[in-house]
Amino acid sequence: MNKETQIKKNTAAGAKKRRRYSLARLALILFVALLLVTGGIVWLLLGTPEQQDTSLGLFRIKEVTVSGDTRYDPQELIATSQIAVGQSVFGVREQRAVENLLARYPYIDRVSIDKPAYDRVQITVTETQELAAVALGDEWLVVGSNGRGLLCLPREGVYPLRHLYLCGVTLAPDADVGRPALLPEDLKAVLTLRDACLQNGLEDVGEMDLTPGAVRLMWRGQITLLLGSLSKAEYQIRLAASSLPPLLEKYGAHVRAVYDLRAFADPENLSPQAYFTPEP
C-alpha cells in the first residue's frame, strides 16, 4: 500500500466520522427543539395554577357555575371542587372534584362536571331525599334514600318529629353523617316498603319496624299494619290501601286499630284472612 492510498483512506474515514457526529448533533438539536416547542404549547394551553391573568395562557376558565337544587352555597361548592377561574380548562381534574364534593356534603348524591364552552365549567349536583330517622346513641340519624347518614338531630322523645321512624334494622359499621347508615339489605327493604306505600296512597306511614318475623307499619299514628315478613309486603300494602277506606267509614275516621295481614305472608295458609281489631 502506497502513501497516497493510505492518505485517501484516512481522509474518507475522517469524513465518515464527521458525518456521524453531525447527524448525532442534529438529532440532539431537533430533540431539544421539540421539547421546547412542546413545553411552549403546554404552557400556552395550561399555564400554571398560580397565573390568574388569562392572557398568559389559552383556554383559561372564565366562569364556574353550579346547577341543581341544592341547600349548599354554590361558591362553597366551587371552592371545594378545586376548580378555579384562571385555571386551564384542560387542567380540570374532574374525578378529584367529584370525590371532594361527595366526601364533604352528605346530601349530595351525584355530581357531574361539564364544559359547555372552552372557557366555562358547570358543576351539576343532585341531592338525595331524606328517607327516615334511626336511633344512634342519644341522637336521631337522618338517613337519605342513598343510605348515607345526612345529619344528626337531638333525640328528644320516643319518635323523631319530622321523619319516618325506622326500627328493627341493623346499622352499618361506623354509621354516621356522610357514611353508610344501613346495611344494603335493610335499605332495599325500606325503599321497597316506602315505594309500595306511596304507589298505593298510604303516604302517612310514620313508623316502619323491620324486625324479622314481626314487620309492621304505623299509619297516621292510629292504624298498626301487621305484615309479619317482607315476602308479600307489596301485596299486603296494596290490600290495606284498598280496604282501609270502607273500614274507616264503618268505625270512624279517627279509630285506632290493629290491622293484621300476616296470614297473607304465610305460604302454608291457603285461605288467608285479614283481621281489623279496633282498640276499646
What pLDDT, in 10s, does the model give residues 137-160?
999 999 999 999 999 999 988 899
Lowest mean pLDDT among 9-23, 172-186, 197-211: 9-23
SS3 sequence of the chain: CCHHHHHHHHHHHHHHHHHHHHHHHHHHHHHHHHHHHHHHHHHHHHCCCCCCCHHHCCCECCEEEEECCCCCCHHHHHHHHCCCCCCEHHHCCHHHHHHHHHHHCCCEEEEEEEEEECCEEEEEEEECCEEEEEEECCEEEEEECCCEEEEEEECCCCCCCCCCEEECCCECCCCCECCECECHHHHHHHHHHHHHHHHCCCCCEEEEECCCCCEEEEECCCEEEEEECCCCHHHHHHHHHHHHHHHHHHHCCCCCEEEECHHHHCCCCCCCCCEEEECC
Mean pLDDT of 124-146: 96
Are residues 218 and 206 in contact, defined by beta-carbon separation less than 8 angstroms?
A: yes
Residue 45 has pLDDT above 70, yes or no: no
Q: What percent of the chain has pLDDT over 70?
A: 79
Tell me the angle at which helices 233-251 and 184-199 cross, rounded to the nearest 10 degrees: 40
pTM of the model: 0.75
User: Mind listing the pLDDT tens digit for each residue in 151-193?
Assistant: 999 998 889 989 999 999 999 999 999 999 999 999 999 999 9
Cα distance between residue 20 and residue 44, in whole Å: 36
Domains of the chain: 54-127 (3.10.20.310), 130-278 (3.40.50)
The residue assigned the cell 430533540 is 31
